[in-house]
A and B are shown apart, each in its own frame.
Chain A
Amino acid sequence: MIEVEGLTKRYGDKLAVDDLSFTARTGRVTGLLGPNGAGKSTTMRMILGLHRPTSGTVRIDGRSFVDAAAPLAMVGAMLDAHAVHPGRTARNYLEALAATHHLPARRVDEVLELTGMTAPSVRRVGTYSLGMVQRLGIAAALLGSPGTLVLDEPVNGLDPDGVHWVRELVRSLAAGGTTVLLSSHLMSEMAQTADDVVVLGRGRLVASGAIEDVVAAATGTSVRVRLVTGSPAEPLTAAVSAAGGTVAERGDALVVTGLTSEQIGHAAASTGSVLAELTPQSASLEDAFFELTKDAVEYTTGGTGR
């Protein structure tokens, strides 16, 4: 479990992260979501002790990471997959990491195997493609079999196969009890991977919670209702409004917000309206994201800056 409390980071005049609090729970995948410059990477750096917070605290499983007896086994991290000296081989890089914690040599073989990097591991990292570098970064993060994983944009540069593989990997690790925190600005990716999301905009917390709740809260759920041809809309509209729903006409259908499909079904039965369609509409995470961060996008295309 990662507990972030009142985390603030100021670089000179610029407030990169502003009083951020959230919890990434054990056994769940938590997505850190936000547009470029929202403070995702800065937050991850502070969680790992690489940047000192201006104020606020981070605890991992209730403890401070910096004082861990075995940091590599406590948190596995990939911040910038390219953060490897290009003149080293992947194997040399992983063996050096493993040596710090007296991990057996076979653990290096295991993570190379797991990430499909066994064959290229004898080559120097400078010769790797983006996807291979990314896989090596994930291999390094998994090396210590950590209880917590922190991955910054883990699917960046991966092909569809690789994206699928990362998704399956973090899902299965979370199912096994690992706390997973990953960042992305790809909403669709998050929708398929994360259980919980923490949405950031300009360093501030915009929304957090289970992904369905955040999406629902941001967009409001609506139900599409269509009556059979010839059935008058008026009685149903009145009943829905009386029950507290809002009705909007859209083509030959009605869009009801504020009521569940079940409540609408009851309203239809009481007025004798015959329904041809009753479909709950779930907004996409993409919609939710735009809705949440529209006021907090740092680099607005064609804008006049701040």
Chain B
Amino acid sequence: MTTTTTTTTARLDFSGLLRSEVIKARGLRSIQWLLALLLALPVVTAVLSALTADTAGGTHDEVAEEALSAVTGLSWIPLLLVVLLGTIVATSEFERGAVQTTFTVAPRRASVVLTKATLVAVTVLVATLLSSVVSYLVAAALLGGDQPASLGDPDVPRVIIGTALYAASAGVIAMCFGFLTRSSIGGVTATLGFLYVLPALLQAIPIEAVGWFARTIPGPASTALDLPGHPDGDLTFTTALIAVIFWTAAALLLTCTVVRRRDV
């Protein structure tokens, strides 16, 4: 139809949606707070851990191990923040029905789910990498020693990258459960239930195949990604990575299907 205003050609695409989601995320204080905590808290816990460790006269390997455990020891704290962040990115849409506008502007709703997933994955990946590296370096500096721990020490790159990948996956899965349940409490509960409670229940069933299946769920699978050393019976790094990516993709597929079909 004809309107007299001359505007640049309006077009809905992925880059526009992504920019829109970034603006939306910036506009919410809850997301700002969670992101700030996600960056700062791991450093605080690493400092506390390093200050209370006793590595005086320890070998290089002992110091490196202590520095790494300063990063991984309390890694469930940032993970909880990531689950909250992912959930809120989705459920903020259901606050007072804002999703009506969102889906009127982007009637092919799957694009909204995928843009939000991209935003969550990239933000969490970058934030977690950053805070892990800083935490490790700070812990290493505080622990000191004749041969201080460095980023090149065994296990360190795997754990730092693995932690960030698992966090990104958990954030996206939380976002999916936020969309599916349309409630922040529901999203967080469902995510933690899926990541930790469900595999624990399944592993209690004494059938080999069920146990193996349970170990592929991101919660248990992540131990090969983000923990130093390899407990027996765990997946390899590559297998664990594939499992985590597979479950994330499955959650996204389910969410896109449900969101497209549902009346809002």
Contacts and interface: CB of A to CB of B under 8 A. Distances in A.
Most B Cβ at <10 Å: residue of A68, A73, A140: A73
Size bracket of the B interface = 35 or more
Contacts of B264: 50-51
Interface string A84-108: 1111110011011101111110010
Interface in B190-243: none
A107 B162 CA distance: 44
Contacts, number: 136
Contacts of A146: 1
Contacts of B11: 69-70, 101-102
B5 A145 contact: yes
A178 B3 contact: yes
A52 interface: yes
Contacts of B24: 88, 92, 96
A75 B17 CA distance: 17
Interface residues of A, number: 52
Given A52-B261, A147-B3, A178-B3, A69 B12 contact: yes
Interface stretch (B72-80, B93-101, B119-127, B148-156): B93-101
A26 interface: yes
Nearest to A104: B8
B105 A85 contact: no
A50 B263 contact: yes
A80 B27 contact: no
Given A50-B103, A69-B12, A72-B105, A100 B1 contact: no
A54 to B, nearest CB: 11
B105 A100 contact: yes
A103 B13 CA distance: 12
A177 to B, nearest CB: 5
Interface string B85-128: 00000001101111111011111100000000000000000000
B52 interface: no
Contacts of A66: 107-108
Contact of A88 (B10, B13, B27, B261): B27
A179 interface: yes
Interface in B1-55: 1-5, 7-13, 16-17, 19-21, 23-24, 26-30
Contacts of B4: 176
A178 B3 CA distance: 8
A70 B93 CA distance: 21
A276 B101 CA distance: 59
Contacts of A52: 261, 263
A103 B8 contact: yes
Interface in A100-140: 100-104, 107, 110, 140
Contact of B29 (A69, A87, A147): A87
Which of B5, B10, B100, B105 has the largest count of A CB atoms less than 10 A from its CB?
Answer: B10
A99 B16 contact: yes
Interface in A26-57: 26, 45, 48-52
B253 to A, nearest CB: 20
Contact of A100 (B2, B12, B30): B12
Given A70-B12, A178-B3, A83 B107 contact: no
A52 B107 CA distance: 12
B107 A84 contact: no
Given A92-B23, A92-B27, A148-B1, A97 B101 contact: yes
Contacts of B3: 145, 147, 176-178
Contacts of B106: 71, 100
B99 to A, nearest CB: 8
Contacts of A140: 101
B12 A99 contact: no
A61 interface: yes
B2 A84 contact: no
A92 B263 CA distance: 26
Contact of B27 (A67, A72, A96, A145): A96
Among all A-B residue pairs, the 8 with the closest Cβ atoms = A147-B1, A92-B27, A99-B20, A83-B97, A101-B10, A73-B10, A96-B23, A99-B19
21 contacts: A67-B108, A68-B107, A69-B11, A69-B12, A71-B106, A72-B12, A79-B104, A85-B93, A87-B29, A89-B27, A99-B23, A100-B19, A101-B10, A101-B11, A101-B12, A102-B10, A103-B10, A144-B10, A147-B1, A148-B1, A178-B1
Interface of B: 1-5, 7-13, 16-17, 19-21, 23-24, 26-30, 92-93, 95-101, 103-108, 261, 263-264
Given A67-B108, A89-B27, A144-B10, 11 more contacts: A26-B1, A69-B11, A70-B12, A77-B101, A85-B92, A85-B93, A96-B27, A100-B17, A102-B8, A102-B11, A107-B7
